[in-house]
Every structure is written in structure tokens, then in C-alpha cells.
Amino acid sequence: MINVDLEKGTYICPYCGHAQAFTMPRHDFESCGFAFKYSMSEKYKECSFIIHSLQCANKGCERICVIALNIKTNKQIDLLPQVTIKQYPDYIPEQIRKDYEEANLILDRSPKAAATLLRRCLQGMIHDFWGIKEKNLNAEITRLKDKVTPMQWKAIDGLRQIGNIGAHMEKDVNLMIDIEPDEAQKLLKLIEMLLEKWYIARHDEEALLTEIIGIAESKEEQRK
Ligand SMILES: [Zn+2]
């Protein structure tokens, strides 16, 4: 979902990733032309949307994104682009990036399937990043316990449990537990957070340390 905060007047461009402030949306109108937003009856509010279109202030991008906000529920629907996918660097294994992207693509239409894919994505990260492989994800997450903070561990185990809803049938096959799109969205955010904290932080740290070691070595050379 496009990250827009209309109260603060900020958004993150879904194309170039730049966080920015806007003074006012470029265009803004109600889809139900015959009804005024403030005097609208409940019945019309339910089917009415405010359209906001925003143009990126980054001169290298300047692309436009469009969102619709439901007047009654404030639910946001992304019109352009419909799916926002963060592009992750190549040093994150391709399979993990693919699962993440696929989860993103189906999130609104099938949150349960998205949660299952995110669970698989998590398992791939535990295998690859931590080198932990056990008989199942539950056992793998148990081994992860002393490697992450208690809060992170609980959330990671929560993702496993929620992902299980789509992966396995309940004992009572008539029992259907639904996952809402905004709940799947939070799971997606957790994966994004872990990609940042694990892969990107490690890569950035290694790059900085390598540079400093290089600087120290060249200074040492100069002293000789
Ligand atoms: Zn942009």
C-alpha cells in the first residue's frame, strides 16, 4: 500500500522510495458528484471516495500516484500504482525476494495466501541468514530464541502461527479463520523489517568496516 499520511502531509513515493512532504494534493474530488462530503447521508458515504493524486517532488522521478479514500471507513485503495513492491538488493537470495514480491501482489485479493507465502519467506530467511535448519519451522524458530529480542521473537512466532492458517487445514474442517488484508499487510511489514535488520544492516556494516580497514591500511602504507 502507498504510504500516505494526509494529516502530516507526507508520503513515500512508491516509485523512487523518497519520503517527502506535500503542501496539498494536486487534485482532489469526490467520485459521487451529486453528493457533498459533509452533508452526505450514511448510505452515500459508504460508496463514496475521495481521490488524491500526488506527484513526486524528486526531479529524477516526478511520477504520479493516485489513491482513493473511502469517506465512511477511510479505507485506502491504491489506484496507481496498484501494487507497491520494494526492490531489494541482489545480495538477498532470489527465492526470498520472489516470495516477498508474490505475497505483495496477492495481498489484497488473498490475504491468507499472502500470509502463507510470508511464512515461507521467513523460513527461507532463517535457513539462509541464520543457517538454522530443523524438521519444521516451529523447531527452527525455537532455535532462534536467543538470537533476537524477546519482542521480535514473539512477532516472528506470531507470523508462523498466522501463516499456518492458510498452510494447514484446521482439525475441524468447517472452522474457517479469516485473515484481513490489513493484518497481512502487518506481516509484510514484519518481513520488510527483518530484511532491513538482518540482510541490509549486515551488508551496510560490512561495507563500512571494509572501507575503514582500507583507509587504515592506506594510512599505514603512507607512514612507511
Ligand atoms: Zn518518486
Distance CA 218, CA 224 (A): 10
How far does residue 37's CA lie from ligand 1's centre (Å)? 30
pTM: 0.70
Distance CA 159, CA 76 (A): 24
How far does residue 220's CA lie from ligand 1's centre (Å)? 43
How far does residue 154's CA lie from ligand 1's centre (Å)? 35
How far does residue 60's CA lie from ligand 1's centre (Å)? 7
Tens digit of pLDDT per residue, the chain (224 long)?
A: 888 988 888 999 988 888 999 866 444 444 444 444 555 677 777 888 888 889 999 999 899 999 998 888 888 998 988 887 888 889 999 999 999 999 998 998 899 999 999 999 999 999 999 999 999 999 999 999 999 999 999 999 999 999 988 777 777 777 778 899 889 999 999 999 999 999 999 999 999 999 999 999 999 999 88
Distance CA 191, CA 5 (A): 22
Nearest to 159 by CA among 189, 200, 195: 189
Distance CA 53, CA 82 (A): 13
Enumerate domains of the chain plus CATH numbers: 4-80 (no CATH), 94-214 (1.20.120)
How far does residue 11's CA lie from ligand 1's centre (Å)? 10
Task: Decide: 189 and 104 in contact? Cβ < 8 Å.
Answer: no
Task: Decide: 91 and 141 in contact? Cβ < 8 Å.
Answer: no
CA 15 to chain centre: 14
